Amino acid sequence: MVRSTRSKLSSNKPRQVRDAEATKAQIIDAAEEEFAKHGLNGARTEAIAKGAGITTAMIYYYFQSKEGLYKAVLQRPAIEMYQMLQQLNLDQLPAEFALKKAVRAAIAYEAAHPQRGMLWFQEANQTQGKYFKQGNWQETFAHIIKVLERGMAEGSFRQLDPLMISMQIAGVCTFYFNAHENIKHLTPDVDRLSPEMIERYTTEAVNLILAGVRQQK
Amino acid sequence: MVRSTRSKLSSNKPRQVRDAEATKAQIIDAAEEEFAKHGLNGARTEAIAKGAGITTAMIYYYFQSKEGLYKAVLQRPAIEMYQMLQQLNLDQLPAEFALKKAVRAAIAYEAAHPQRGMLWFQEANQTQGKYFKQGNWQETFAHIIKVLERGMAEGSFRQLDPLMISMQIAGVCTFYFNAHENIKHLTPDVDRLSPEMIERYTTEAVNLILAGVRQQK
DNA sequence: AAAAAGACTAACTAAATTTTTAGTTAACAA
DNA sequence: TTGTTAACTAAAAATTTAGTTAGTCTTTTT
């Protein structure tokens, strides 16, 4: 079985010399891509090394084991997602506007890290989510649930099941990117990850979700 | 790791004896689960064999290679999904009811085969979809797009982007099952795959989507 | 009931892959 | 300069895994 191991991140430029932090970051970048595609078992340390422009021994030098590297890779999105949500200050906005803002931010996050959704799915399916400390993700959903409950209390949202709806919102925000490799075959001539297309997806998503939860008058 | 291959198989649940068709089906069942979790590369033939209650040699006896088994596994969902959609006769229903029926059917399909969404993602991400018949997915989306366009023409649906919205509908229908292993950590005490919970998810999904696309009056 | 065919397993090999080892090079302080 | 150490590489060792072989057990055919 032939697989291209060349990462677009690191393929052209020669690496800096002997900068431990930079090297570690490059390994994690390459590893995130490889783990997102192939999961813990399917990922090849050789592919990660090649993507980072180092030898496989460096993985063990910095991360002790393949699993250690995997843990390091998973830590990053968990922290970033948490921080992103904090910064939105959803509590200080009317529910409808808060939801709009959260949906836009979530899709923008996915667009900036299109491979992370799959990383999360791989983690769920292969290791029963044991490395993903549930706290951060509980936080994520808690933020959306809170907005939905507030909207219902305010009377701007209809009566709905906040947890179920928040998962469906997550589905809307992530599907486009998780399934990108699948759906790109549907319209081969359009670049579905171009800013224009992502903006179009975002607009439609906001419209669908807002109309879907709004109280009819 | 020490693995005894001796006497484990005979002492566990005894399989039916020497029924080729039943054995093949058991291998495909176990393989679908393993491939869905780990993809083509990450899947372990030994794990498949153990799941099916046979030795790895049987995989080669019936399917020649790991890849041959993978192809056999992918054939089944492709055919079933196609047939399911045909039987809905969406064209003969008002758009609103057709969409409701399609969403219910899609979620029911996912619930009956919770691992197939991941099988599809793995296939696209790891092998560029070369083993999967793309035609079936084009069909699937075409069906939904047609319903959405009809609804817009009838005036029952608002003006929307049919392709984008159909992907968002797919996100709503599939997320719950693809992410199940992660989601279950959010509410550890609830069985999120019980019929009651799935019905609740379905109801909320239908409400969200219908309200989301309906023409306001 | 003997022979043939089909279903099946234990034990194995070759190759791929992870992990370790032994050593090399650059940086930098004394 | 020179000695020390962190960053790094090449290649060997250990381990895992796909795939094979030779033969056993069961069912069907004659």
Residues whose CB falls within 7 A of nucleic chain C? A 17-18, 43-46, 56-57, 60, 64-67; B 5-7, 9-10, 15, 17-20, 23, 41, 53-58, 61
Residue whose Cα is closest to the C1' of C21: A57
State the pLDDT at residue A6: 29
Determine the average pLDDT of the residues in A113-117.
93
Say if A201 falls within a structural domain. yes
State the pLDDT at residue B3: 29
Nucleotide nearest to A67 (CA to C1'): C18
Q: Do residues A123 and A201 share a domain?
A: yes
Maximum Cα–Cα distance across chain B = 71
- List alpha helices for A95-161, DSSP H: 95-112, 116-127, 134-154
DSSP for A162-181 reads HHHHHHHHHHHHHHHHHTHH
Rounded, the Å distance between the CA of B18 and C1' of D27 is 8
Q: How many CA atoms lie within 13 A of A196 on its CB side?
A: 2
Query: Of A20, A35, A64, which closes a domain?
Result: A64
A208 vs B160: CB contact, 8 Å cut-off? yes
Q: In the structure, what pLDDT confidence band is assigned to residue B181 with cuts at 50, 70 and 90?
A: confident
Query: Of B45, B67, B89, which closes a domain?
Result: B67
Q: Do residues B87 and B47 share a domain?
A: no
**What Cα–Cα distance (Å) separates residue A198 from each residue in A65, A177, A212, B172?**
37, 10, 20, 18
Positive/negative CA dihedral, B155, B159, B164, B170: negative
The structural domain count of chain A equals 2
Per the CB < 8 A criterion, the answer to whether B119 and B60 are in contact is no
State the pLDDT at residue B15: 64
Q: Residue A189 carries which DSSP code? A: T
Say if B7 falls within a structural domain. no
Q: Do residues B113 and B44 share a domain?
A: no
Say if B208 falls within a structural domain. yes
Q: Do residues B115 and B207 share a domain?
A: yes
Q: A79-83, B105-109, B117-121 — which is least confidently predicted?
A: A79-83
Q: How far is CA A165 from the centre of its chain?
A: 19
Q: ∠ CA(A181), CA(B140), CA(A173), 5° rounding?
A: 50
Query: Of B67, B85, B105, which closes a domain?
Result: B67
Q: Do residues B134 and B160 share a domain?
A: yes
CATH code of the domain in which A60 resides? 1.10.10.60
Q: How far is the alpha carbon of B154 from chain A, nearest alpha carbon, in Å?
A: 19
Tell me the per-residue pLDDT of B123-176, one tens digit each, with 9 for 90 and over: 888 888 788 776 677 888 999 999 999 999 999 999 999 999 999 999 999 999
Rounded, the Å distance between the CA of B22 and C1' of C15 is 32
Q: Do residues B195 and B88 share a domain?
A: yes
CATH code of the domain in which B125 resides? 1.10.357.10
Q: Say which residue the tokens 């030098």 belong to.
A: A61
Q: ∠ CA(A174), CA(A177), CA(A181), 5° rounding?
A: 140
Say if A104 falls within a structural domain. yes
What is d(CA B168, CA B179) in angstroms, rounded to the nearest whole number? 16
Burial call B90-112: b when 16+ CB within 10 Å, e when fewer: beebebbebbbbbbbbbbebbbe
Q: Do residues B135 and B159 share a domain?
A: yes
Q: Do residues B88 and B162 share a domain?
A: yes
Say if A69 falls within a structural domain. no
- B16 shares contact with chain A (CB less than 8 Å): no
Q: Do residues B141 and B189 share a domain?
A: yes
Say if B4 falls within a structural domain. no
State the pLDDT at residue A4: 34
3-state class (DSSP) for residue A144: helix
Determine the average pLDDT of the residues in A131-150.
83
Tell me the per-residue pLDDT of A118-134, one tens digit each, with 9 for 90 and over: 998 888 888 877 776 65
Q: Do residues A153 and A109 share a domain?
A: yes
Say if B111 falls within a structural domain. yes
Q: What is the mean pLDDT of chain B?
A: 88
Which residue range forms the structural domain that includes residue A3?
1-64
What is d(CA A117, CA A123) in angstroms, rounded to the nearest whole number? 10
Per the CB < 8 A criterion, the answer to whether B34 and B44 are in contact is yes
State the pLDDT at residue B136: 72
Q: Do residues A117 and A25 share a domain?
A: no
pLDDT of B2 over the 50 cut: no
Say if A207 falls within a structural domain. yes
Q: Do residues B170 and B149 share a domain?
A: yes
Nucleotide nearest to A42 (CA to C1'): C17
* A chain contacts of residue B216, beta-carbon cutoff 8 Å: 211, 216
CB burial class (10 A; 0-12, 13-18, 19+) of residue B12? exposed
Maximum Cα–Cα distance across chain A = 65
A208 vs B168: CB contact, 8 Å cut-off? yes
pLDDT of B217 over the 80 cut: no
Q: Strand (E) positions, B141-189? A: none
Residue whose Cα is closest to the C1' of C16: A44
Q: In the structure, what pLDDT confidence band is assigned to residue B76 with cuts at 50, 70 and 90?
A: confident
Cβ-nearest to A138 among B124, B170, B186: B186
3-state class (DSSP) for residue A214: strand
